[in-house]
Every structure is written in structure tokens, then in C-alpha cells.
A = this chain, B = another copy of it.
Amino acid sequence: MAEDASRKTPEQRAGMTDLERLRHSCAHVLATGILKIWPEAQFAAGPPVENGFYYDLELDHRISPEDFEKIEAEMKKVVKENQVFERSVVNREEALHMAEEGRLAALSERSAPSKFKLDIIRGIPEGEEITLYRNGDFTDLCAGPHVMRTGNIGAFKLTSVASAYYKGDERNPQLQRIYGTAFKTRAELDAYFEMLEEAKKRDHRKLGKELQLFTFDAEDVGPGLPLWLPNGTVLIEELEKLAKETEFHAGYQRVRTPHLARESLYLTSGHLPYYQESMFPPMEISEEGGEGRAVKYYLKAMNCPHHHKLFAAVPRSYRDLPLRLAEYGTCYRYEQSGELFGLMRVRSMQMNDAHIYCTREQFEAEFNAVNELYLKYFKIFGLDKYLMRFSTHDPAKLGEKFVNEPELWKETEEMVRSVLVKSGIAFVEIPNEAAFYGPKIDAQVWSAIGREFTFATNQVDFSVPKRFGLKYKTREGGFETPLCIHRAPLGTHERSIGFLIEHFAGAFPTWLAPEQVRVLPISEKHTAYARQITEMLRKEEIRAGCDESPDKIGAKIRLAQIEKVSYMLVLGAREEAANLVAVRSRKRGDEGALSAEEFLTRLKREIANREL
């Protein structure tokens, strides 16, 4: 505990949320429980983590999930006893002495030295306060904070066991890491495990395979480079269509740029050398412009430098601003193999990217319009819960972590803040987390099962346009450098689609669904009628298929349900005779018989409105 806690600044410790404090306390309870069974256990660090906590320990007995019940029983006793968490301050000598006597992270009766705690105390800088927390007869070296009493821990559960090197260094001894989670109430705990269960069912990698959305071929194509099957491509193209339509009305103009550029472009932009390790290595060619050396070409990791070149390609005047250049550009970033994860962390990124060049006077309106775009998209996807994280600069780090333009920082941050306040969008301000060249906003959203996700980033840039020498002619005939807003409200297709697969559990709204309608003739006799209906729908650009297999109608319906087709049209003798279609909605079930025209009219309205 001390180890992790001591690394944090007092503000960060104070910033521990209620839930983190609760989980942190539960780690102490875990240690207490384990010591009741194995008093010889040696504990190292035990911080709260995302969704729970862990504690690392050394013990000859190999703890397995079979032991969890026994440990949890001991922990329950500790909670039931409602022990007080008691804080005390000690000096270095006292702390070292206690560790040597084996009285830290230990029940009172143990005698072997608390070896990891000893090591941790030795690492605490001189002059820093050393605190202990005690509950019952268990005392630990710990910076806190904790809940008042063990009884405040409403519900907990141990979840898994793994191994980890002490301090994460493989030259150190290997420890056992016990993971658990805790909540204020039993209901919250249950909901969490239900969510996990649901998330497993909704895993985008699993559904991606089942629904034939995408595939990987690490060996011949390369890891982290998804190949999109027809069903997944429908998702991409519908998102693109949505963005193009929306952004046409918002006054964006579309552009296209190549996927690579010469080294010199990235020297100007500053991507080289600062961003080089996230880029694919260069292609080296002997050609003109290399001054005797090979010319290096890099795959683009971002679209901005190319867009800046398009801004500069034509003389620009204040009349042309705001100039909003949008592109579906695929960028390539060399993420480390260990970090690749399904669609969530990939090396090829299809991005709905845009750069808005504007004057300072136009900034507020433009920034607000971008935020409104976000909200529009969130609404379309049924994302009710979202939060804007507004990252600002730290005046103490100007010229170091942040570009040295104190006035511009103040001015733009004030503009962004004012836009956020006026628009009423929920936001939190996070100091010292801005980008190098300007403040930024991250849009956090929560999926239908409550999982948090950073949907997209939106940045102000008042530095790079200058590096590229971008200028526009002012009304007065002078020249000024525009501000630039980087924005990508749909993020990258890969991540967004990964998120949407989970959010919709693969059952996409009709406008997004790869297969919108499947026509199911009850028997072979109705094949001709089924084909005629299918053809009629496809003529109207409905993604309709026809199941002509010899299977029974029940099997056909089951298959369409598994494949998450939005509508099934069941066609038998009755329907054919009356020239009707029996409609079965995936979401709402049987909807009765309609004329094909009536069904088509309803369907087209649902699609045009992008209904959920």
C-alpha cells in the first residue's frame, strides 16, 4: 500500500473516489483474512485499481480460486466485527523497528520481519510522513485514506489470482496477486457481475467473428490490421454516410490525401522525432530531393500535416474562413504487439477527421458547433450518459510541457470553458493534461451495460499552423495565422465500432444493420414470391436477403435471430394469396401481416430517421 500510495502526490491521494477508498480498505480486510489462515504470509503492495483492488503477497501455499470461499469467510468476520480503521503517524525508526519485528502487514502475534514493508520504508524519502493504519489486530504501513470502519464495506468478492514480480521488476521475487472487488451494496456488486457476464456475451471479438464483421491475419497481413468482411464494411460505410451527411449540413468540405509523405513533412509538423516510435518505420528510396541520401517516406499517423498542405495550396482570405476540411483518412500507428487488442487497439485507423481553420473571433462558434455535433452523434447511438473532460495547461510548465503562449492559453481556455458552460454539457476540468499545443476535450461515454469509453478527442491548436506558415489575408489586407481545431467526433472506426458492437450487443439499429430484412419462404413453393419481394426491397436500396435453404421455417427464423437481422418477412400460402408479408421484428417480435408497400414505407422512414 505504502509503496503505491507514497508515489502519489497528496492531491492525488485526496482525489481517491469514495469507491476507491472503500476498495482500498477491502484490500486491508483481504490481508487480515489471509493472515488468519496463513499467518506467515508476507505482503507487498495492495492498491485500488479499475473495478476493484488487489494485494500482492509471498506465501508457500499456492492460493487458488478454491481457497476464495475460505478467505472470504474470514473477511466476512472482519467486516461483521465492524473494526475501526485507526491512523497513526510514526517516525522512520519506529516504522523500521516494527517491520523488523514483523509487526507490519501482520496480525499482532507474528515474529518474522515484514521484509517487503521494510524495503518500502527504506525507499520513502527523508522528511515524508509515515503513517500506519490498524483494524482489529492487523496493522499495515499505509498512506490511506480509508473508510471509517470495516462495516462500511457493503459487499465484496475475490475474483482471480495471478502472479506478479515485486515492484514489477523481473529480477525481484515472484509474488501472488489476489484480485477482488467491493461495493457499497450487495445490489451494486450483483449488478457489476451481471454487467461482466453481459460484457462477455457482447465481447466485440466474439461477436465480430460470429456476425462475420471482420477478421485478422496476423501472419500474412500483420497483427493489428483488421480486414473488414462485408457485414463490418456496412457498419463503416453507414457511419461514413452519417458523418458526410451531417457534416455537409455543418459546412464541412471533404478532401482526400495520400497515406504517406516524405520525412520533411513530419519534420515540419514535429511528428519527427517526437512521435517516431508510434509510427511505422520509413520506406527509403533513392530519388530527387534526398540530396544524395535516400528519401524517407512515412505512413501517416495523423491527417493534420496533409490538411495543412491543402490549406496552403491556395491563397486564403478571411472570406474563406472558417474552412472546415474533413477526410476519411486511414492512419497507421505502430502500437506495440502487447498492446494490440481486437478492434480497440489496432495499427490501422480509419478516422472521420477534420481540421477547422478559423479566426479568433470565429473560434467560439466553431467550437460550440463541434460540441453540438458530438451531442447529435451521441443521441443517434442512444448514448445518454456522457461527460466532457476538459484538459487545461499548467502556467508553471509553459515553455516546457506546454507551448509558451500564456495569453493564447488563457484566452482559448476561457473560450472553451465558456462554450461548455453556456451549452450546459456536463464537464470536468483537468489541469495539467492539455496537449502541448492547446487545450483538449475528451468525450467520455458509457455503453448500454455501463462501460466507460473515450469516444473521441477534440483539440485546439494554436502552434502548428504557425510551423506550417499558414496565413490568410485579413479584411484590412494584412496576413494572420489561423487557429486550428482538430476534431474527430466519431473517433476511429475501429474503436467506435468495437464500442458499438458491445453497446448494441451486435443487434444494430436497422439503419446500421448489415442485413436489414431477410425474406423467409415457408416452403419451396413460395420461392418465386420471396424473390420478388426481395428484389423489390433491394431496388429501394434495402439490404435484403432471401433464405432459400430447404430448412423448416422455425430453423430459418432462429438463424435470422442469431444473425441479428432487423426484420424477417415470413411468406407462406396465406401471404402470397393476399399479396402480403408477415413481419417479424427482431426487437418487437410478431408485427402481423402488411402489404409489402406499407412495410417498405415504414422501413424507409425508420432508416431515414436512424431510429434506435
Residues of A within 8 A of B (CB): 212, 215, 217-223, 225-230, 232-234, 236-237, 244-245, 248-249, 253-262, 264-265, 268, 280-285, 287-289, 295, 297, 299, 306, 309-310, 313-314, 319, 325, 330, 332, 334, 337, 348, 350, 538-539, 541, 549
Residue in contact with A280 in the complex, picked from B219, B285, B325, CB distance below 8 Å? B285
| A249 CA / B299 CA spacing, docked (Å) | 35
Select which of B253, B257, B295 is within 8 A of A230 by beta carbon: B253
| Least distance between A3 CB and chain B CB atoms (Å) | 33
Cross-chain contact B281 with A281 (CB below 8 angstroms): no
Contacts of A260 in B (CB 8 A): 222, 225, 280, 299, 332
Q: What residues of B have a CB within 8 angstroms of the CB of A249 in the complex?
A: 538-539
B283 lies within 8 A of A299 (CB): yes
- Which residue of chain B is the closest to A347 with respect to CB atoms? B258
- Known pairs A230-B325, A256-B350, A541-B245; A215 contacts B261 (CB<8 A): no
Distance, CA A230 to CA B260, complexed state (A): 19
- Cα separation A255 to B218 with both chains bound (whole Å): 18
Measured between alpha carbons, how far is A249 from B535 in the docked complex, in Å? 9
Return 8 A-B CB contacts under 8 Å, by A number: A221-B258, A221-B262, A222-B297, A228-B255, A232-B256, A233-B254, A248-B538, A281-B284
- State how many angstroms separate the Cβ of A298 from the closest Cβ of chain B: 9
A605 to chain B, nearest CB (A): 18
Is the beta-carbon distance between B282 and A227 smaller than 8 angstroms?
no
Closest beta carbon of chain B to A563's beta carbon, Å: 13
Q: Which residue of B lies closest to A231 (CB)?
A: B253
B259 touches A330 (CB 8 A): yes
Kindly list chain B residues whose C-beta atoms are within 8 Å of the C-beta of A244. 237
Tell whether, in the assembled complex, residue B313 and residue A262 are in contact, meaning their CB atoms are under 8 Å apart. Answer: no
Chain B hits for A218, CB < 8 A: 289
Q: Are the CB atoms of A222 and B262 closer together than 8 Å?
A: yes
Residues in B with CB closer than 8 Å to A232 are: 256
Known contacts being A229-B310, A280-B297, A281-B285, is A220 close to B268, with CB within 8 Å? yes
Determine if B313 and A227 form an interchain contact, defined as CB atoms under 8 angstroms apart. Answer: yes
Given the known inter-chain contacts A229-B314, A350-B256, please indicate yes or no for A262 contacting B220, CB distance below 8 A.
Answer: yes
- Asked whether, in the complex, the Cβ of A227 is within 8 Å of the Cβ of B309, the reply is yes
Tell whether, in the assembled complex, residue B219 and residue A262 are in contact, meaning their CB atoms are under 8 Å apart: yes
Report the separation of the CA atoms of residues A227 and B221 in the bound assembly, to the nearest whole angstrom: 27
Q: How far is the CA of A245 from the CA of B330 in the complex (A)?
A: 23
**Residue in B220, B223, B234, B287 whose beta carbon sits within 8 Å of that of A309 in the complex:** B220
- Which of A230, A262, A332 has most chain B Cβ within 10 Å? A230
> Oligomeric state, in number of copies?
2
- Closest B residue by C-beta to A541: B248
Q: What residues on B are CB-neighbors of A245 within 8 Å? A: 541
Among B285, B299, B314, B319, the residue within 8 A (CB) of A334 is B285
Q: Which B residues are in CB contact (< 8 Å) with A549?
A: 319
Closest to A212 in B: B314
Interface contact A254-B268, CB-CB below 8 Å: no
Given A227-B313, A287-B337, A330-B259, does the pair A306, B221 have CB atoms closer than 8 Å?
A: yes
With contact pairs A227-B309, A256-B236 given, residues A337 and B288 touching in the complex (Cβ less than 8 Å)? yes
CB atoms of A261 and B348 under 8 A apart:
no
A260 to B260, CA, bound (A): 12
- Nearest chain-B residue to A267 (Cβ)? B220
User: B297–A259 contact, CB under 8 A?
Assistant: no
- Per the bound structure, the CA–CA distance linking A280 and B287 in Å amounts to 12
A325 / chain B contacts, CB cutoff of 8 Å = 230
- By beta carbon, the residue of chain B nearest A227 is B257
- Assess whether A227 is in contact with B258, with CB atoms less than 8 Å apart: yes
CA distance A234 to B254 in the complex (A): 7
For A306, the chain B residues whose CB sits under 8 A away are 221, 227
Additional pairs, 7, CB under 8 Å, beyond known A215-B309, A281-B284 = A218-B289, A219-B289, A222-B295, A227-B256, A227-B257, A280-B283, A283-B299
Contact A259 B259 (CB under 8 A): yes
Complex contacts, A222 vs chain B, CB 8 Å: 258, 260-262, 295, 297
- How far does the alpha carbon of A307 sit from the alpha carbon of B113 in the complex, in Å? 64
